[in-house]
Amino acid sequence: MNITSPRQLIHSIPGLVGAIAPDSLVVVELGDGQVRSHVTISFSVDEESHGLEQAVKALTCRDDSALVAIAFSQDADLASETLERVQVLAESHNVHVLDLLHVFGSRWRSVICQDDSCCPEIGNAIDEDSREGFSSNAQTNQPSVEELQLQTRTLTKRELELRDEAFANVGSWPSGNPVELFEYRNDKVNAAMEMLTHQPEDVWAVLASVGSVLLDIRSRDGILRRVLENKHDRRMISHNLVTLFCVAPIQYRAAIATVLAGASWLDGDQATTRHAIDVALEEDPEYSLARLLDTALIHGVPHRVWVDSLTAVAYDKCLAGAA
């Protein structure tokens, strides 16, 4: 592969180093568009013994090559601190740094790029081709459970400001008559599904819009009914739900994780469903739909029962409160 972009390099990393543990740093030497050498270390390694400094020194970086460091972590501050240390060490050893990248969930950003239109603080979505490089189930409808590990991410001050601003723009739900409420719910569900089935340009706007829908039980059930109908979009929906969970305020996490579980169970993906339900119940032990799916898994209820139960309730009935 000829490496010409950060996405391509991120795509190639699993093939070079195998499974990537959380809070890991991959330091790569690039030359003529090719990976010439690479070193992987854990953030926990003592840099004064055999950690960061040894990793940088091990990559001699000839005159026609340069260094790229990639931090894989949900903790933005920890990743930035580690990448800054790499830059300082590289400069002390006269090693040219081409880029410093932070990968979190299904997003990435350059910490040295100053162009917000190119590398916004919320990061860039890893495109479909890159996602397939991380997945052992690239040709299946549902990503592997390893891809869908739900972990909250420590946000920077600026990210928190962007998140709060997005939620402030959502507004409150009306208290109209049943017809008006139905139309409002329908509009909100349609907008949420449009966002969940596409690559988000603004993850904060998606989080605020989808989060407000999922907190309303009837609208949440409408989302699940639409997910049932959108089999070919479930992979994207699942990825976006994971991205949202990682940065969501605590009151939204149980609903997001439960909808991910419901989407996964439609395809019979028991491993991802089990993981998502465990996370949902950890966030809110009393969340009723998570408890219902938990009971079904414990008693070995076939996933077809879940599919049939959603199929039996029309979308309009979900929004009207039949489920």
For the chain, give every domain's residue range: 6-134, 145-320
Cα–Cα distance between 196 and 191 in angstroms, integer?
9
Residue 130 tokens read as 């890159």
Please give the Cα distance from 205 to 207 (Å, whole number): 5
Q: Whole-angstrom distance between the N-terminal and C-terminal Cα of the chain?
A: 51
Give the integer Cα–Cα distance in Å for 277 and 284.
10
Question: Cα 181 vs. chain centroid, distance in angstroms?
Answer: 31
Spatial distance between the Cα atoms of 96 and 81, rounded to a whole number of angstroms: 19
CATH class of segment(s) 6-134: alpha beta
CA distance 78 to 156: 11
Largest alpha-carbon pair distance within the chain?
71
Using the structure block, give the residue that is written with the tokens 């996405």. Answer: 7
Residue 22 DSSP symbol: S
CA–CA dist 279, 255 (Å, integer)? 10
Q: According to DSSP H, which parts of the chain are helical?
A: 6-17, 52-58, 76-92, 128-134, 157-168, 178-196, 203-214, 217-229, 234-247, 250-266, 270-283, 288-298, 303-312, 315-320
Neighbours of 127 (CB within 10 A): 15
User: From the CA atom positions of the chain, what is the Rg in Å?
Assistant: 22
CA 68 to centroid of chain Cα atoms: 23
Segment 209-254, tens digit of pLDDT? 999 899 999 999 999 999 999 888 888 899 889 989 988 999 999 9
The identity of residue 88, as a single letter, is V
Nearest to 38 by CA among 18, 20, 16: 16
Q: Which residues contact 293 (CB under 8 A, 6 or more apart)?
A: 258, 261, 262, 265, 273, 277, 306
Please answer whether residues 189 and 219 qualify as being in contact, where contact means their C-beta atoms are separated by less than 8 angstroms.
yes
d(CA 154, CA 22): 14
**What's the confidence (pLDDT) of residue 117?**
67
Say what the pLDDT of residue 140 is. Answer: 34
Residues 6+ apart with CB under 8 A from 54: 39
What secondary structure letter does DSSP report for 177? -
Residue 48 is predicted with a pLDDT of 44
Provide CB contacts within 8 A for 262, sequence distance 6+: 224, 227, 289, 293, 306
Mean pLDDT per segment of 10 residues, for the chain of length 323 residues?
78 80 86 82 60 69 77 87 87 84 86 75 64 32 50 85 87 76 91 89 89 92 94 88 90 95 90 91 95 91 90 92 53
pLDDT of residue 60: 59
Position 94 scores a pLDDT of 80
CA nearest to 221, candidates 278, 263, 284: 263
